[in-house]
Amino acid sequence: MNKIKSVLAHIKQSPDLSVKELIMLVESLRPSAASNATEAQQNLDFLVGELKNDSELLAAFQQFIKQIINSKNHIRLFTELGISPRRSFITELLRRLNERILPDYIDKQELLSVIADTFYEHDDYQWVEAVNPDTWCDLFELMGFKAETNRMIVDEFNPSLLSSAQIIASRITSLGLEPEMIIRLPHIENYNSPFQVLSYEVNKLVELIQTPNQSLEPILQLYKHILVMLTQCREAIDNVRRGQKRTGVSISLVYLLLRIEQNIERLGRLLGSILGETKELRLTLAVEMFTRMIRFENQKHGVRQHIQENTEMLAYQVVEHTSQTGEHYITNTPKQYYKFLLQSMAGGLIISFTTWLKFILASLKAAPLVEGFLFSLNYAGSFIAIFVTHSTLATKQPSMTASALASALDDQKHHTINLDKTAELIVKLSRSQFVSFLGNLIIVIPLPYLIAWAYHHFTGQLIVNEAVALKTVKSIDPVHSLSVLYAATTGVFLFISGIINGFYDNVIHYGNVGKRIRNYRLLQKYFSQQSIDKISYYVERNYGGLMGNLFLGFFLGFAGTFGQIAGLPFDIRHVTLAGGSFAMAYYTLGDYLSGITVATSLLGVFLIGLMNFLVSFSLSLFVALRSRKVNFKQTGELFTLVLAHFFAKPLDFFYPPRKKNLSLAPDSTLINE
């Protein structure tokens, strides 16, 4: 408090001071820790109290503040700070990286520089926002921001606010008529778009305000009309976003929508601080704009924030585009459960021959890169075969269900996070995972053994010689090898393949690939339109899945090669491949393996599968939670619900109930069984 008193005494003695004293004042108000809201509140309360109790000090303080405001240019502060510049996502990212190393220079004639020099700590926004807004309103009034006549507080700000409003309105009009917006709002030509006329209406409003002796009524009517237009602009943005599941999305479009939203929000606050219905509202909007500007200033070099702002919606849409595939991996009824079991057994059949081919390719002893490429073709071909035959690979479904999890989180009726529905879905996903493991392993352990026996019986040769068999058994030992760690790596690759699936589905929709194929003249020369339509629809529905499986195959195929070349302990272990490999190795070494070794190997296969599932599922759940902005507390509540269900009805995690189950929570949402 003494420091605040000292600065105020200096201002009272000589109000004709510079920004340096303002910096000193803010330093005296700054709490010892940005998170210390109590100290920040006490400091501001003390400042307000001192100004209220000393009229001479108050007059000097007002003169001090007005002098700083009058000596600076204001427009850049209102039109730039907190609004993404007209750059691409990558260009802005590089700018932020560059300015983190060497900060940009701001002209000292700009009020923007006062904000930057005064609130220079990267976490100042925390204590500024923690202070009661009413306290800030009191301080603003004491500084001369009276807001009594539908005008922004100090007359010096009024022209700048109006000019800034005109600039921002023109910017919104320009951005709203970008080709990417017009394409997604084709009806824009059939009526007056709010984007088209917004700039004109704001200019008209400014002219009315600046007209001498103009009555207030037409100004307020036009202001209310502009607020309606801003609402219509927001609705247009929402329409574009709602259509993104159908049309796809790109970072450039996300960046465009973000910029439009930022400008709409800023224009609303600027006009509201001048023409808000009540004095309290006008002051509140001014304070909100001030506190938000402090946050923007502190975060203007934030790389993480920039990436998060612009990729959050992209990630949201990529997650959404895994929905059709993800729903395929969730069983609700006993009938679906047994169908899924058969599909998993079919997947095990394909993986059995994949395992055989893997040993054949390994016996070629090709160069590492060649071997990695051959392994990749083997795995990718197998995964694509599983995909096109509608079979199932264990551990694949967790990586493909982020969309279903995200959809379950949405409570469309109450616009809240539905944890009960999500908990039910996790139960369903767990039993689907269990039956897929069961179906795969029912086939992938005995069939490779039979293949090894048949090959030996008819050719007299072993598919896996003793040295390779011993190496295989050791590679899945959970105690003396890194198999569990490698299984975690595989879980990451499984998750990434699911994201790639959604990404390419998004690319197909965003690029109108299906429509382009259907109207491709070269194809029309050689194929009937019916055949072309079938091709286009197949590409639209399956391209993402094909690419996801292709990438997964190459991830798994080249992982070991990368580790070998780099000299790092980096490899993969997948439960089905591990199970099939052990079965073939067991045929070769059966008489030499002890019961403990066999049990340890089977335990290794189990742990590999468990780690595959846990990692891919955890990452998918994390993405789903992030896409719906679920906080840490809600995450804990979600896991509590899942555990409660497990202890109450553990069988539900392994077999579907024959009747609908009610969630344990009293306000749960039913899932169709």
Long-range contacts of 171-176 (CB under 8 A, 24+ apart): 171/79, 171/263, 172/198, 172/199, 172/233, 172/260, 172/263, 172/264, 172/267, 173/198, 173/199, 175/256, 175/259, 175/260, 175/263, 176/233, 176/236, 176/260
In a domain, 660, yes or no: no
Stretch 29-43: mean pLDDT = 92
Average pLDDT rounded to a whole number, residues 33-62: 91
What pLDDT score was predicted for residue 212?
84
Burial grade of 520 (CB within 10 A; 0-12, 13-18, 19 or more): middle
Residue 73: strand pairing partners: 110
As beta bridge partners, residue 417 has 410
User: 333 and 253: one domain?
Assistant: no
Q: Tell whether 510 and 626 lie within a shared domain.
A: yes
On whether both 543 and 407 belong to a single domain, the answer is yes
* CA pair distance 345, 338, nearest whole angstrom: 11
Residue 663 DSSP symbol = P
CA 113 → CA 19, 105, 178, 600, distances in Å?
10, 9, 32, 67
Region 647-669: mean pLDDT is 64
Q: Is the pLDDT of residue 300 over 60?
A: yes
Q: Please check whether residue 382 is in contact with residue 358, taking contact to mean a CB–CB distance below 8 angstroms.
A: no
Kindly state whether residue 58 falls inside one of the protein's structural domains. no
Whether residue 206 sits in one domain with residue 343: no
pTM of the model: 0.71
DSSP state of 211: S
Residue from 194, 271, 269, 207 nearest 234 by CA: 194
**416: helix, strand or coil:** strand
Q: Domain for residue 135, yes or no?
A: yes
Residue with tokens 């292709």: 550
- The larger pLDDT score, comparing residue 419 to residue 252, is at 252
- Residue at which a domain ends, from 317, 337, 365: 317
Whether residue 158 contacts residue 151, with contact meaning beta carbons closer than 8 Å, is answered with: yes
Give yes or no for a contact between 581 and 355, defined as CB atoms under 8 angstroms apart.
yes
> Are 313 and 333 found together in one domain?
no
Average pLDDT taken over every residue of the chain: 84
Q: 17: pLDDT confidence band, cut at 50, 70 and 90? A: confident
In three-state secondary structure terms, 392 is coil
616 in the same domain as 593? yes
Does 663 map to a domain?
Answer: no
- CA end-to-end distance (rounded Å), the chain: 65
User: What are the residues whose beta carbons fall under 8 Å from the beta carbon of 547, sequence distance 6 or more?
Assistant: 500, 501, 504
Q: How far is CA 366 from the centre of its chain?
A: 42
Q: Which two tokens stand for residue 79?
A: 């039109």
> Are 598 and 542 found together in one domain?
yes
Same domain, 520 and 550: yes
Is 190 a member of any domain? yes
Of residues 248 and 44, the one with the higher pLDDT is 44
User: At 417, phi and psi to the nearest 5?
Assistant: -85, 120
Confidence at 418, pLDDT banded by 50, 70, 90: low
Report the Cα 543 to chain-centroid distance in Å: 23
- Average pLDDT (423-449) is 88
The pair of three-digit structure tokens given for residue 99, joined into one six-digit string: 């300015």
Residue 73 has what DSSP assignment? Answer: B
- Final residue in a domain of this structure, among 283, 317, 351: 317
Q: Which of 412, 299, 383, 329 is nearest to 577 (CA)?
A: 383
Is 13 within a domain? no
**Two tokens at 182?**
């017009």
> Per-residue pLDDT tens for 230-288?
999 999 998 888 776 677 777 778 788 889 999 999 999 999 888 888 888 888 888 99
pLDDT digits (tens, 9 = 90+) for 595-652: 999 999 999 999 999 999 889 888 877 776 666 666 556 667 778 888 888 888 888 8
Q: At what angle do helices 595-627 and 575-589 cross, to 10 degrees?
A: 170
Query: Do residues 619 and 495 lie in contact, with contact meaning Cβ atoms separated by under 8 Å?
Result: yes
Residue 106 φ/ψ region, left for φ over 0, alpha for ψ in the -120 to 50 degree band, beta for the rest: beta
Residue 52 included in any domain: no
One-letter amino acid at 361 equals L
Residues found in the chain:
673
pLDDT band at 320 (very low <50, low <70, confident <90, very high): low
pLDDT exceeds 60 at position 328: no
Biggest distance spanned by C-alpha atoms of the chain: 107
410: which strand partners?
417
Domain presence at residue 309: yes
Please tell me what DSSP assigns to residue 410.
E
CB distance 476 to 581 below 8 Å: yes
Structure tokens that stand for 127 in this block: 């204590």
CATH number of the domain at 361, please. 1.20.1080.10
Alpha-carbon gap, residue 356 to 264, rounded angstroms = 61
| Both tokens assigned to 573 | 């272990």
Name the band, by pLDDT with cuts 50, 70 and 90, for residue 151: very low
Which 8-state DSSP code applies to residue 501? H
Helix (H) or strand (E) holding 569: none
Q: Quick one: 269 and 338 in the same domain?
A: no
Same domain, 268 and 387: no
Which residue blocks in 368-461 are alpha helix, DSSP H?
A: 368-388, 396-400, 402-409, 419-444, 446-459
- Residue 85's domain spans which residues? 72-317
| Cβ atoms of 665 and 648 closer than 8 Å | no
Residue with tokens 């139960």: 427
3-state secondary structure of 339: helix
Convert the pLDDT of each residue in 538-592 to its tens digit: 998 889 889 999 999 999 999 999 999 999 999 999 999 999 999 999 999 987 8
Are 96 and 216 found together in one domain?
A: yes
317, 352, 382 — which closes off a domain? 317
Pair (514, 602) in one structural domain: yes
User: How many structural domains does the chain have?
Assistant: 2
